[in-house]
Chain A
């Protein structure tokens, strides 16, 4: 299972890079979302893919016997998904605000903070 997932991660990363190189802010943010998923899959895959029982101790036992699935990557991915969701939500609102206030979503036309053609001292 690792090889197809690795290929998928590579594909997603490639797509995301292409999207993020765009001057269109919305494409950049879509790229961010795709790259976030690629990274989450990578963490998941890095934790090794196994077909084992869930890491739950049975009621009448002290410990799990035999092999069990590694729960840590899932916890990490879950955290990363939540954080990525929050960041993306903020970034989308910011993009909307940029469109309302600056009248553009093209990053090369956003020159308010660093106006071009300033006179050098």
Chain B
């Protein structure tokens, strides 16, 4: 029976996508269905989290074809946490989208595409099979292509070309690695792979496939030096679309990296994880420096996504229990904060008329409350206590110090410092300085629709709650990390008593 918990998020998202497609000619019905679907997905993922927390890992063998032959769904604590956070982000961004999207955006299939995107994201978190991960990635990717081009401005077309081109390459690298791994092991089931990979004699080809997967997932996660598609594209689509992208899409890449390099490829940690460590440090530094050179709100925030990805990969690369806890904690904190910052940038642009920092100002005078709402995620991103980002960074830096990796700890701290620089730049330019001469003054907060503010307030409240009551989140992250570091538990849950 518990299998239904794992399948429910997928069934809900797929049903909603189909229902919103059928209701395309009825705008009000389609919107209602879309919102209902988003909340149903949230409910399903809460139920899944609850079931996994109480009863341990949930495994579904579809049509009773036992692993490794059938299609396996397998959800451990990490997968359940990620599904839950994806559903939260999806619901927040869809509520924000109600006042934002116009009829022409709706006609470009905004609602069905959004739910297909959530379907792909949840599927990637729930699947227990490498080839199915590829399929879910593609579901997510094709929906994201559609969402990215809704609106059809010149900048969007340009950004989409780069986004599509690099993601196509990543896709093929992934598939190439899948082919090689299948050739060596004869299986693509995660659990089966985790048992067969240590017995593969040809470690050279094994490491080569691991590197291909690292490149493919790294490109999706936007790590150094494969991130160029992200700052080219993420500032161009609708605000609600870019918020859901910023929150979720790169994190699916991080999730896949963490799965691959805890469950599958731990045969040569000294080599693979050392590369990851260097990559993470360079990602942090280049991301934050790239952000310092920008003067458009969403472009600054896009570069910060890259820099923050570095922290998550750093936890994986250190590969100690504490570091993995840090990565999981960071993922949860980051998705909420980053989606919220994009939403706030959207409201700020709506009140002032632009995302370009030079053209705007005076927000603190006209909408002081928005300043407070910006302050919370911005300083959480930079790692100020007692907000959620502080704990996330604290755990990771402590793990680095315990592992005697001094330079990565230093890189993490310097990146935090430079993050403050970018956040104070947005604060100083958009909120503090008076509105530039010639333009209309910034509108008061009351001019922003309540449906835009509600998700922002909710996400900001979650940031504060994670910061003030970090203990329960720590416990969840600790259990997720413990499960990840012991692949035999995962394998036993999926394969049962099979040899």
Whether A and B are associated in the same complex: the answer reads yes
Q: Which residues of A pack against B, CB within 8 Å? A: 20, 25, 28, 32, 35-36, 39, 42-43, 45-47, 72-73, 76, 79-80, 83, 86-87, 90-91, 94-95, 97-98, 101-102, 107, 110-114, 118-121
Q: Does B159 contact A (CB under 8 A)?
A: yes
A43-B179, A47-B182, A90-B164 given as contacts; is B172 within 8 A of A113 (CB)? no
A94 touches B145 (CB 8 A): yes
A5 to chain B, nearest CB (A): 12
A96 to chain B, nearest CB (A): 10
Which residues of B sit under 8 angstroms from A121, Cβ to Cβ?
Answer: 293, 295, 425
Per-residue interface assignment for chain B, residues 153 to 180, with 1 indicating a CB less than 8 Å from any chain A CB and 0 otherwise = 0111111111011001101100110111
A80 touches B175 (CB 8 A): yes
> Is the interface on chain B under 10, 10 to 19, 20 to 34, or 35 or more residues?
35 or more
Stretch of B79-87, B230-238, B317-325, B445-453 contacting A (4+ beta carbons < 8 Å) = B230-238
Central interface residue in B146, B183, B231, by most chain A CB within 10 Å: B183
Q: Does B149 contact A (CB under 8 A)?
A: yes
Stretch of B21-29, B134-142, B267-275 contacting A (4+ beta carbons < 8 Å) = B134-142
B178 touches A43 (CB 8 A): yes
A36-B172, A39-B172 given as contacts; is B157 within 8 A of A97 (CB)? yes
Which residues of B sit under 8 angstroms from A45, Cβ to Cβ?
Answer: 183
Please, which residue of chain B has its CB at the minimum distance from the CB of A44? B179
Which residues of B sit under 8 angstroms from A118, Cβ to Cβ?
Answer: 295
Which residues of B sit under 8 angstroms from A42, Cβ to Cβ?
Answer: 176, 179-180, 183
Which residues of A sit under 8 angstroms from B233, Cβ to Cβ?
Answer: 113
Q: Which of A72, A90, A102, A112 contacts B142 (CB 8 A)?
A: A90
A39-B175, A46-B180 given as contacts; is B154 within 8 A of A102 (CB)? yes
A111 touches B172 (CB 8 A): no
Q: Does B131 contact A (CB under 8 A)?
A: yes
Q: Which of B138, B169, B180 contacts A32 (CB 8 A)?
A: B169
Q: Which residues of B pack against A, CB within 8 Å? A: 131, 134-135, 138, 141-142, 145-146, 149, 152, 154-162, 164-165, 168-169, 171-172, 175-176, 178-180, 182-183, 231-233, 235-236, 293, 295, 425
A91 touches B158 (CB 8 A): no
Q: Which of B142, B169, B178, B179 contacts A86 (CB 8 A)?
A: B142
B158 touches A87 (CB 8 A): no
Q: Which of A79, A91, A102 contacts B135 (CB 8 A)?
A: A79
B142 touches A94 (CB 8 A): no
Q: Which of B161, B162, B168, B176 contacts A87 (CB 8 A)?
A: B168
A39 touches B179 (CB 8 A): yes
A110 touches B172 (CB 8 A): no
A120 touches B155 (CB 8 A): no
Can you report 30 residue pairs joining A to B where beta carbons are below 8 Å apart? A25-B161, A25-B165, A32-B169, A35-B172, A39-B175, A42-B180, A43-B178, A43-B179, A46-B182, A47-B182, A83-B138, A86-B138, A87-B138, A87-B168, A87-B171, A90-B142, A98-B158, A107-B161, A107-B162, A110-B161, A112-B154, A112-B155, A112-B157, A112-B159, A113-B155, A113-B158, A114-B232, A118-B295, A120-B293, A121-B425
Which residues of B sit under 8 angstroms from A119, Cβ to Cβ?
Answer: 295
B169 touches A113 (CB 8 A): no
Which residues of B sit under 8 angstroms from A83, Cβ to Cβ?
Answer: 135, 138
Which residues of B sit under 8 angstroms from A101, Cβ to Cβ?
Answer: 152, 154, 157
Central interface residue in A36, A94, A97, A107, by most chain B CB within 10 Å: A94
A39-B172, A94-B149 given as contacts; is B183 within 8 A of A46 (CB)? yes
Which residues of A sit under 8 angstroms from B236, Cβ to Cβ?
Answer: 113
A11 to chain B, nearest CB (A): 15
Please, which residue of chain B has its CB at the minimum distance from the CB of A88? B168
Please, which residue of chain A has its CB at the minimum distance from the CB of B228? A114
Please, which residue of chain A has its CB at the minimum distance from the CB of B132? A79
CA distance A98 to B161 in the complex (A): 8
Please, which residue of chain B has its CB at the minimum distance from the CB of A90? B145
Which residues of A sit under 8 angstroms from B295, Cβ to Cβ?
Answer: 118-121
Minimum-distance CB pairs A-B, first 9: A46-B183, A43-B179, A112-B158, A113-B159, A113-B158, A42-B179, A112-B154, A113-B155, A112-B155
CA distance A79 to B145 in the complex (A): 19
Q: Which of B141, B157, B182 contacts A98 (CB 8 A)?
A: B157
A83-B135, A86-B142 given as contacts; is B231 within 8 A of A91 (CB)? no
B182 touches A113 (CB 8 A): no
